[in-house]
Structure 1
């Protein structure tokens, strides 16, 4: 219980200082994680260090990175809570001082326990006034005590040793963030949902403490916000990723317990649980695969640090992963996959981006970022793929994402953005590019394309010389798609000479999925040359490439 004397005489400078110290600690922890990734892991990965010692070293870095991220997230919640306590107690103190002034003005007396008394022989009105002031002082002391206890307990929940049994720490961190948002009245409505430039301006205008408040309270919103720096989105999405994995594990355990409880009772009674268990297992495996692709441990020499720029398990699931920091890369490639690619395929799609990043190093592009953009619900079947609605719905989201890359890019670094569409993904790219200003790319690449709703490369907004297409031997998707996705009527396909694009070679690749083969790297190397601006190194079947970039 807060006493009258404690509240009356309290000074809150210590609370203000504590909030500042916690905010500074959160910044330091976050910075330590960033420095570990860029200053330690990145050089080691780029060096190609491998072997048993390397594996052990990378595992240690992963554990420490996870601990730093978790500590930074929890520390972000302390300052808003301390600030809330200071605000509540200051308000209570103000009310108390006003009440004490009334006690003095009316010639009454207050004792240490908060009771107000009138002089002996006082009239009934004075006795009543004393009783009213006693009640008011009691109420304000209760209010102060409740604020002190509530916030104190909440801060205690953020301590590492306060994690409850059976609850993983990331799930606890996410729950703590929701608690902080409620207690500290952090309003999600202040987060802009407009253009990436507006988002960038909003974030740039926030003080560090304000940024921390939104990070701890709303990581699920920040993670998908085009216009925020890559490191911010990555940090937010990893919180959501960890909490999601924990939730999937718990739901899977619960469904298995239900199945065990009904097994043998009636024939077929457990079918619905088996179906759900299979769904959850596949989703959990995909989440674990995604997390493994974010770890420092390399799949081979020359692997870069990765950034999770988007994550959701709603619907078919979405994931956006960058290999290399797009905010500081001179060359950035955004890869848009096609039909049948869902969240469960994130491992293979990110591996393609890694192979493309590695190939770019061979063309003098170490400062390159390659991004897998599974940012839309891809068609599940050929029947669905014949419907362009998926592409039309996805196009503005792709455009906003590329706009966001432009908005957050370091102006001191050169900037060259290539957007690559595979299969139905090239239709998404075409839909975005055909609207002026919607897709701010420098080069567009379409491989295995069924069509782009265009019959001339000039319609894609980057100039014919900056449109690149390819079709591997025996890839029938362009043939079938040519009957549906050329524009305005059935006619010229992207790999036809009449389309006016540069068609590059795909020697050794067969079918629809070998455009990033490392065994037959002709197509892979051609794409790497394009994204690094080494147009003179692209092997063409026909076309007129632009001059190579310096």
Structure 2
């Protein structure tokens, strides 16, 4: 009987994921990008400074920051010119140098990787002088071509939070694409969590404030897996299928944890289970989970939590700027 119930639950979860995302294109598995940024081979072979450059795949953001702090202005400029793919994506590199290295991709681009579906992180506001920092971690079907939606959310959050807050629209991991097993498993979230943890370590190495993470849909799975490895001040999840944790304590974080789900959000029909690697676990808005639940009755749809005028955006802005 237990095996029969488990089979039914898995079948229901799969059916609901397919049914509630109607209109998405069917897709197979997505390849998660490796840790080394584009141009790493040439970077490793560069001995022009008379010493090894920090290994992009192994050096910590703190070690990268210390290396760049010891360079002259001319040495920094040469590395930007010769190795923009590495400098522009390497956490721990000073923010202005990353912007310069990624300038061909636009203004205030903190990371840019055109390989595959592409990754990008864009900053709204003045990151270097900000007293508060927020990071938006999006869910499925966000990549280089569709990152504009996350950037609009960042603009709306920053406008509501004020000029002292900088917001990073972080399309910085390989998200699930279309309907497929990646949507219901944690494979891509695990890779994304590693990249998100490194991003926050890079912010810390740059002397920037501990960030508040705003995690939408599958992005909340990423944030749940990254929670214990970040120094986030707050973790806010919305439209979440689960965080791969039974409760707030299991996240292993000192951050304040907040959760919101609209009654109009299709995610409410997805079973909050995790069986044989399928599903993402407990509902973060349930009383047993232990997060602070935010009102979301006026949010009209799954992708509308950052809509100006909604109670959620008002609450998000207060969290981001430290007023809540």
Q: TM-score, normalised by structure 1?
A: 0.48
CA contact 1:455–1:487 (8 Å) conserved in 2: no
> Following TM superposition, by how much is the alpha carbon of 1:430 offset from its aligned partner in structure 2, in angstroms?
0.5
**Superposition pairs for residues 322-361 of structure 1, below 5 Å?**
322-361=123-162
Q: 1:343 to 1:484 in 2, by over 3 A?
A: farther
Is 1:228 the equivalent of 2:93?
Answer: yes
Counterpart secondary structure, 1:420? strand
Match for 1:428 among 222, 225, 250?
222
The aligned residue for residue 377 of structure 1 is 174
CA distance in 2, matches of 1:187, 1:522: 56
Is 1:495 the equivalent of 2:285?
Answer: yes
CA distance in 2, matches of 1:226, 1:485: 35
> Following TM superposition, by how much is the alpha carbon of 1:476 offset from its aligned partner in structure 2, in angstroms?
2.3
> Following TM superposition, by how much is the alpha carbon of 1:488 offset from its aligned partner in structure 2, in angstroms?
11
The aligned residue for residue 253 of structure 2 is 462
CA distance in 1, matches of 2:99, 2:138: 21
Superposition RMSD in Å: 2.5
Is 1:527 the equivalent of 2:316?
Answer: yes
Higher helix residue share: 1
Deviations 1:267-323 (A, max 9, x none): xxxxxxxxxxxxxxxxxxxxxxxx4xx3xxxxxxxxxxxx11011111111110111
The structure showing larger relative contact order (alpha-carbon pairs under 8 Å, at least 6 residues apart) is 2
Counterpart secondary structure, 2:64? helix
Q: 1:188 to 1:212 in 2, by over 3 A?
A: farther
Counterpart secondary structure, 1:310? strand
Q: Which runs of 5+ in 2 are unaligned?
A: 1-41
CA distance in 1, matches of 2:279, 2:117: 31
Counterpart secondary structure, 1:349? helix
Deviations 1:40-91 (A, max 9, x none): xxxxxxxxxxxxxxxxxxxxxxxxxxxxxxxxxxxxxxxxxxxxxxxxxxxx
> Following TM superposition, by how much is the alpha carbon of 1:388 offset from its aligned partner in structure 2, in angstroms?
1.1
Deviations 1:443-487 (A, max 9, x none): 1000000000011112223347x1000001221224415134899
> Following TM superposition, by how much is the alpha carbon of 1:341 offset from its aligned partner in structure 2, in angstroms?
1.3
Counterpart secondary structure, 1:497? coil
CA distance in 2, matches of 1:392, 1:491: 15
Q: 1:393 to 1:418 in 2, by over 3 A?
A: same
CA distance in 2, matches of 1:341, 1:313: 14
Is 1:392 the equivalent of 2:190?
Answer: yes
> Following TM superposition, by how much is the alpha carbon of 1:489 offset from its aligned partner in structure 2, in angstroms?
9.0
Is 1:483 the equivalent of 2:273?
Answer: yes
CA contact 1:392–1:431 (8 Å) conserved in 2: yes
CA contact 1:391–1:431 (8 Å) conserved in 2: yes
> Following TM superposition, by how much is the alpha carbon of 1:381 offset from its aligned partner in structure 2, in angstroms?
2.2
Is 1:237 the equivalent of 2:95?
Answer: no
Q: TM-score, normalised by structure 2?
A: 0.79
> Following TM superposition, by how much is the alpha carbon of 1:498 offset from its aligned partner in structure 2, in angstroms?
0.8
Q: 1:196 to 1:235 in 2, by over 3 A?
A: same
CA contact 1:323–1:370 (8 Å) conserved in 2: yes
CA distance in 2, matches of 1:426, 1:188: 41
**Superposition pairs for residues 405-416 of structure 1, below 5 Å?**
405-409=203-207, 415-416=209-210
CA distance in 2, matches of 1:485, 1:505: 30
Deviations 1:244-280 (A, max 9, x none): xxxxxxxxxxxxxxxxxxxxxxxxxxxxxxxxxxxxx
> Following TM superposition, by how much is the alpha carbon of 1:355 offset from its aligned partner in structure 2, in angstroms?
0.4
Moved over 4 A (4+): 184-189, 485-491
Counterpart secondary structure, 2:92? coil
> Following TM superposition, by how much is the alpha carbon of 1:348 offset from its aligned partner in structure 2, in angstroms?
1.8
CA contact 1:453–1:486 (8 Å) conserved in 2: no
Paired residues in the alignment total 278
Match for 2:64 among 155, 174, 199?
199
Is 1:517 the equivalent of 2:298?
Answer: no
Structure ID, larger Rg: 1
> Following TM superposition, by how much is the alpha carbon of 1:329 offset from its aligned partner in structure 2, in angstroms?
1.1
Q: 1:450 to 1:188 in 2, by over 3 A?
A: farther
Match for 2:236 among 440, 445, 460?
445
Q: 1:316 to 1:484 in 2, by over 3 A?
A: farther
Q: 1:323 to 1:487 in 2, by over 3 A?
A: same
